[in-house]
Structure 1
Amino acid sequence: MSNRLFYIFVVLLLGISSACVSPIPEKFIQTTGSEIVTIRTNEVFNISDYTGKLQVRYFNLEADKKSGDAILIISPDGKTMLIDSGKIETGRALDHYLDQLGIDRIDYAIATHPHHDHIGGYQTILRTKTVANLFMPNLPHTTEAYASFLKIVEEKKIEPNYIKSGDSFFLGDDVKVEVLSPSEEALDQARKEKRLSTTDINNLSLVMKLTYQDNTFLFTGDIYKKQEKRLVHLQKDLAADVLDAPHHGDDTSSHQKFIQAVQPKYTLISANILQSQKVYQRYIESGSEVFATSIHGNILLVSDGTNIEIIPELDYQKTLKQKG
């Protein structure tokens, strides 16, 4: 069992044993030699203290191999948007996280692209939660995971909304979401192809910019450097306070020119395995403060429209699980 899982297990045991006495303490500190881990599970999963503010939660999903993305956004007026859902085997964990937050309705479910580590968990979520709207790019992709996903969408009588660059919508009254990629031309070309590679599909991921008053967030799916440079060349307004590191922080992505165009104050890496120490360091050297679910567990970002507070479940972890 990994150190992080052990500490979370300890905290859960404390919570169970003290359920009739007191809640889990906000901070549980485990010291082993020079290693100090602070756990804030209660704080990360607390909604009531942040009512009236924008809440963004990066969920830490565990799997034997790479587990994928799942990001929940709650607007100041309580509307919900789920960006991706991880793999099929992490669906129950994601469902449990949503239950902890008291979420039984997803106003906007986003499938950034049809790869199993982004849409797999929806096989659970579409059955257990009410999904009002489903947004995704109009892409052909004949994998078993995508076919299963579309079957459940049909069973639940959910009509997909196909979105592309230039489209926008509001999450609640005050949070604007703009789609920067893929373009209609790129999607048209993809639909003409008999076969699309993994790279093709990743580069056709939805890239979305979320704006709440003075704060901005850029969500990037799995785009590679080629698509990053294309967005920079097209002079898209990429600047953002918070960047969702493309492709889980892998070497395939995070070109220096893209990082310079975004200039993120904070970078979030959604992956249960640290994909690239080199990319991680690149963001740090750019001046961005980096948080990764593989290091910090579940991560909560709170915005009042001017300032962003980041609350990681874990402060420090001595042993990092890295890609072999």
Structure 2
Amino acid sequence: MHPEESPKETILLLGILLVLIFIVLTLIGIFAVKPPERKEKKGISKKHIWITVDVIVFIILLSLTMGSIYTSQPSFCKLCHFEKRYHQSWQTSPHKEATCLSCHQEPGAIGFCIEKFEMVKRAISYVKQPQREKPATTQITNDSCLRCHKKIEKKTVVRYTIRVSHKEFLEKGERCVDCHNTVAHERMILAKKYPSMDKCILCHDDRTASSDCELCHVEDIGKRPRETMDYPKVHLEEPTHCRGCHPSEACNECHGLEMPHPPGWEKGEGHAREGFARKDVCYRCHSNAFCAKCHSGNWPHEKEFIETHKTATVEECARCGHGKNICDLCH
């Protein structure tokens, strides 16, 4: 039984343990000290001293135990999270049955002690500065996740038509929150992270691992559009290229060039050559008005410039602010 998964049973066991400790200490106080001789002067006997010490120790242990239990409950965390938004988002999350410290505390005795020490620091900080300009952040370790999700290391999960094994991600040192940082406070997370193919295709490149779609996609994605899959729980990142699934040649057959345009395309060195030599391809999607947004104003060169500019020198072109590499845009 994990103490944080069964808090009521834990409190009961701790109570029984404290009673047993008190009984043992009392018996030690009674039998460990020899009875006083008759001629001994009146005063506090050693037996009374031992019993007093036992009671004090018991009270200290009881106070520490009850304090530890109380400060481990979500109701205690709620005292400082006065806006209640963190608490409310947790109550409506898939992890509403887990306590705050199930995630926000490292497993084990050392993690317990560190958390209590940090809790004291946070309490002092809260008293000094209750209003924070920036939101508080915290790191959730894989160990915290795996004490409840231990079986995930050994089984393959199928959800939202995606088959995935987490074992390989964990072995590579990936963090659970890199894909699942919204499971407890989704509304409060500024930079939300969801499962993405970007991490998968780093290995599924047909060399390290298979790139067959059917290996992970158990159903045709065309039958399950994003709207029916609880988007964006499972989705692709903003696309910058299609090469993760398709060779660029497949794009060129219809589009004439790689689509979407690769990073840096809008800069001169990106589209200049294609835009000059293959305007018909550009005009499939863009109009002259689109080009004029950047290429506006009077054209300073004569119509025959394309033929005559070959006699110009780099120094002459530089007079208008062109860099020395301007020739490389086309040549």
TM-score range, shorter chain: under 0.3
What TM-score does the superposition give when structure 1 sets the normalisation length? Answer: 0.22
**Structure (1/2) with the larger strand percentage:** 1
Higher relative contact order (CA 8 A, sep 6+): 1
Q: Whose Rg is larger? A: 2
**Structure (1/2) with the larger helix percentage:** 2
